[in-house]
Amino acid sequence: MSLSSKDKAAVKALWAKLSKSADDIGADALGRMFQVYPSTKTYFSHWNDLSIGSGPVKKHGKTVMGGVGLAVANIDDLVKGLFELSEKHAFELRVDPANFRILTHCLLVVVASKFPADFTPEAHVAFDKFLAAVSLALSEKYR
């Protein structure tokens, strides 16, 4: 399910609309994920506050969306473009890849709720494919 040129164009067009609100989207998606999928909190036992709108959640949401932005900029070669992040996730963070799908779903829900007119089915399929490709690139070095 690799990205066609049509997919890439759709992702870039959607990102152009989202990028100004990227930090909010990231914070909302992350906070939501912790509440809807409590197992994801196991990776953040070192935080003092995982509630929606908390300092750590906002900060990390921004970090995560920075990664998404980097991926958009490197959409033509995600494995190469996300090399460092891939190493980090494989050797340092070791997040079970099943969680990438969970966060992807929460991102899609937040984008749909904040940008209902722009998140058409066509934009949805391209963005879902893109985030799946990003997840694959991030887990590239896992084994």
User: Environment class of residue 33 by beta-carbon count within 10 Å: exposed (0-12), middle (13-18) or buried (19+)?
Assistant: buried
Instruction: Read off the DSSP letter of residue 48.
Output: S
Specify the residue, 1 or 16, whose C-beta has the smaller distance to another protein: 1
CB of 76 to another protein, least distance (A): 23
Buried-state track 38-58, b at ≥16 Cβ within 10 A, e below 16: eebeeeeeeeeebeeebeebb
Binding site for another protein (CB under 8 A): 31-32, 35-36, 52, 105, 108-110, 112-114, 116, 119, 121-122, 124-125, 128
CB of 88 to another protein, least distance (A): 27
Alpha-carbon torsion, ordered 116, 21, 3, 87, to 10 deg: -140
Q: For the chain, how are helix, strand and coil distributed in percent, rounded to 5?
A: 75, 0, 25
Specify the residue, 76 or 122, whose C-beta has the smaller distance to another protein: 122
CB of 28 to another protein, least distance (A): 8
Specify the residue, 28 or 89, whose C-beta has the smaller distance to another protein: 28
CB of 134 to another protein, least distance (A): 17
Specify the residue, 16 or 36, whose C-beta has the smaller distance to another protein: 36
